[in-house]
């Protein structure tokens, strides 16, 4: 087992890790001091060099996104996505609760680089502790002069505030998040214009996942070159993998991108319960397609998982052993998405209802061949044709479930 010195999770197990003093004791806010001595363009260039890609699910290169922020716009914003709603994902929560300052330092550096003087934390409403920790971290940072006017004498001003979500998964989607932040219904916006062109209140806005931001201080301190030396060709740096399901030691593990799935499951997460075989793996959160045990050697990277027929998503691995009822798994996942559809576009909103209706009959042993056909017809109809990617995320588990485990679905109809 390759042991890696943790970067993002270096602090989380220290006593009082969330306190600003602890953070400072272990070199906190040094990166900020360094960044404030650089020009904003140099900071952005460093992030570009690191080749870090977004950790919120879509994997867009962060440096490139910063570069999209118009230079001449007088008002710009940064929005920090802490809505973490994708089933199987629990990494952002860990950082926010145990090491909020690592994100906040990234926030200040990013704001400096793009010229934003106002940043908003959008946090999932159920993260009660997370909300408290964010608020405390921000007020402590104000006290120490890391926030507010003229930060550390640099002449740079930044205010940060926290906004709690009200429990809708879709509000993790960046444009729905901006709508919600503006006090409206959380419904995605048309893209283009992208948030970097027209975001919060119509002003250029950088939306970044909080894990992505937590990487920034390390990139600044150790250099983009260092960061890009870790990982695979198209997936650079360290990543927190959340493992759950039928493994002996579920939890968060920070490893370089490109670590094989097998190593994560068997060496870090302690293997499958009761020594059973694996039937299916979800590698990147419940909206990414299933993999079968044959793909166990796939390195966990953006391009490698894509080649294997799935996606890295949020890096949330869900392991299912040989005893798992895959029809039931697909039903449960679908139920989640149907419940959480924002209700805006037709295929996702109603297609989901129709898929769930078939899945409920199938899982309940009352389904027929017609239900399977219907399921496939509807999932294909939804796939790629919805207003935002959520609809496609809803179709993925159904389509890959049918592709890989069709006999299980058919078994369920045997009686009818």
Residues that bind ligand SF4 (CB under 6 A): 170, 188, 341-345, 348-349, 386-388, 390-391
Beta carbons within 8 Å of 364's beta carbon, 6+ residues apart: none
Least Cβ distance, residue 29 to ligand SF4 (angstroms): 38
For CA atoms 86, 88, 94, 95, give the dihedral sign: negative
Least Cβ distance, residue 387 to another protein (angstroms): 5
Least Cβ distance, residue 353 to another protein (angstroms): 5
Least Cβ distance, residue 291 to ligand FMN (angstroms): 21
Beta carbons within 8 Å of 101's beta carbon, 6+ residues apart: 18, 20, 23, 28, 29, 137, 140, 141
Give buried/exposed letters for 370-387 (b at 16+ CB in 10 A, else e). Answer: ebbebbbebbebbbeebb
Q: Which of 158, 194, 178 is nearest to 65 (CA)?
A: 194
**Binding partner of 325, given another protein, ligand FMN, ligand SF4, none, CB within 5-8 angstroms per partner class:** none
Tokens of 370: 């017609």
**Binding partner of 284, given ligand FMN, ligand SF4, another protein, none, CB within 5-8 angstroms per partner class:** none
Q: Which of 144, 136, 108 is nearest to 16 (CA)?
A: 136
CA atoms within 13 A on the CB side of 158: 34
Residues that bind ligand FMN (CB under 6 A): 54-58, 60, 62, 81, 83-86, 170, 172-174, 207-209, 212, 388-390, 393
Report the distance separating Cα 252 and Cα 391, nearest Å. 28
Is 84 or 97 the residue whose CB approaches ligand FMN more closely? 84
Least Cβ distance, residue 336 to another protein (angstroms): 11
Give buried/exposed letters for 264-300 (b at 16+ CB in 10 A, else e). Answer: bbbbbbebbeeeeebbbbbbbbbbbbbbebebbebbb
Least Cβ distance, residue 373 to another protein (angstroms): 9
Q: What is the signed CA dihedral for 9, 267, 91, 147, rounded to 10 degrees?
A: 10
**Binding partner of 54, given ligand FMN, another protein, ligand SF4, none, CB within 5-8 angstroms per partner class:** ligand FMN
Is 278 or 333 the residue whose CB approaches another protein more closely? 333
**Binding partner of 224, given another protein, ligand FMN, ligand SF4, none, CB within 5-8 angstroms per partner class:** none
**Binding partner of 374, given ligand FMN, another protein, ligand SF4, none, CB within 5-8 angstroms per partner class:** another protein
**Binding partner of 85, given ligand SF4, ligand FMN, another protein, none, CB within 5-8 angstroms per partner class:** ligand FMN
Question: In DSSP terms, which residues pair with 92 in a beta bridge?
Answer: none
Residues that bind another protein (CB under 8 A): 168, 170, 185-186, 190, 338-347, 349-354, 356-358, 360-361, 370-371, 374, 377-378, 381, 385-387
Is 83 or 396 the residue whose CB approaches ligand FMN more closely? 83
Tokens 């080649």 locate to 307
């Amino acid at each position: 087992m390759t042991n890696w010195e943790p970067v993002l999770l270096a602090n989380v197990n220290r006593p009082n890790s969330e306190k600003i003093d602890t953070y400072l004791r272990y070199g906190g806010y040094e990166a900020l001091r360094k960044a404030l001595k650089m020009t904003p363009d140099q900071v952005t260039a460093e992030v570009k060099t690191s080749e870090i890609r977004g950790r919120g699910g879509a994997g867009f290169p962060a440096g490139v996104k910063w570069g999209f922020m118009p230079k001449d716009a007088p008002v710009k914003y940064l929005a920090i996505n802490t809505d973490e709603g994708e089933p199987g994902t629990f990494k952002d929560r860990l950082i926010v609760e145990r090491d909020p300052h690592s994100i906040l330092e990234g926030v200040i550096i990013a704001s400096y680089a793009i010229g934003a003087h106002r940043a908003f934390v959008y946090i999932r409403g159920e993260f009660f502790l997370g909300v408290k920790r964010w608020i405390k971290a921000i007020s402590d940072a104000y006290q120490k002069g890391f926030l507010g006017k003229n930060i550390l004498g640099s002449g740079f001003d930044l205010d940060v505030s926290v906004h709690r979500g009200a429990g809708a998964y879709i509000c993790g989607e960046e444009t729905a998040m901006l709508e919600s932040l503006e006090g409206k219904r959380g419904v995605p916006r048309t893209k283009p214009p992208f948030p970097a062109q027209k975001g919060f209140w119509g002003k250029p806005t950088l939306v970044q996942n909080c894990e992505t931001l937590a990487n920034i201080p390390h990139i600044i301190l150790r250099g983009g070159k260092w960061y890009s030396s870790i990982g695979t060709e198209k997936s650079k740096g360290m990543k927190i993998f959340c493992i759950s399901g039928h493994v002996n030691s579920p939890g968060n593990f920070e490893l370089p991108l490109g670590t094989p799935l097998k190593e994560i499951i068997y060496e870090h997460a302690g293997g499958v319960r009761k020594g059973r075989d694996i039937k299916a793996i979800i590698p990147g959160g419940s909206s990414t397609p299933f993999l079968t045990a044959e793909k166990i050697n796939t390195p966990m990277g953006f391009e490698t998982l894509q080649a294997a027929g799935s996606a890295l998503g949020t890096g949330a691995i869900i392991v299912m052993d040989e005893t798992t009822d895959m029809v039931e798994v697909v039903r449960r996942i679908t139920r989640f998405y149907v419940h959480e559809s924002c209700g805006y576009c037709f295929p996702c909103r109603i297609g989901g209802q129709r898929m769930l209706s078939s899945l409920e009959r199938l899982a309940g042993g009352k389904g027929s061949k017609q239900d399977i056909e219907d399921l496939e017809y509807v999932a294909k109809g939804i796939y790629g044709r919805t207003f935002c990617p959520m609809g496609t995320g809803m179709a993925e588990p159904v389509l890959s479930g049918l592709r890989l485990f069709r006999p299980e679905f058919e078994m369920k109809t045997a009686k009818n």
